[in-house]
Amino acid sequence: MSAELDHPVIVFDGVCVLCSRWVDFILRHDRAGRFRLASMQGVHGRSLLVAHGLSPDDPVSFLLVDQGKGYSDTDAIARVLGQLGGRWRLAGRVLRAIPRPLRDRVYRWVARHRYRLFGRREQCRVPEAAQAWRFMD
């Protein structure tokens, strides 16, 4: 069975510094190892973006694929936080309390300007050996 069906998959921008910090957050707080990670620059991440109607060449959305269904933008973030449990579940609920058009507008503005605001790496993030099993590419 594929990883997309066995585990939720988070597709992230492997050269974005902000996105790499989000990956660090997931690795630190997902102690159960439920999420898998796929860089949008890799084969799996690119194919998941295309399969869920997002451009792999100009992504301005965060993608979570859970049980074959794609979630994007702040809905995806809220779902991830909810699955982390504890105080993060509460943070996900608070995020969902904000009207979606407003929270997604802010999210998309940050996403469009992420390289200018947070920086860009020359190459994709390389996982540490102890965490490599979490990455799909």
CATH code reported for the domain at 3-120: 3.40.30
What HEC string does 9-20 produce?
Answer: EEEECCCEHHHH
Helix (H, G, I), strand (E, B) or coil at 117: helix
Please write the tens of the pLDDT for every residue from 1-13.
355 568 999 999 8
- pLDDT exceeds cutoff 80 at 120: yes
Give the pLDDT confidence score for residue 122 in this predicted structure: 80
Q: Residue 37 CA to chain centroid, in angstroms?
A: 8
Q: What is the mean pLDDT of residues 22-28?
A: 94
- What is the Cα gyration radius of the chain? 14
Q: Where are the domains of the chain?
A: 3-120
For the segment 25-38, the average pLDDT, to the nearest whole number, is 94
- Tell me the whole-structure pTM to 2 decimals: 0.88
What percentage of the chain exceeds 70 in pLDDT? 96
Q: Kindly report, residue by residue over 60-71, the tens digit of the pLDDT.
A: 778 999 999 999
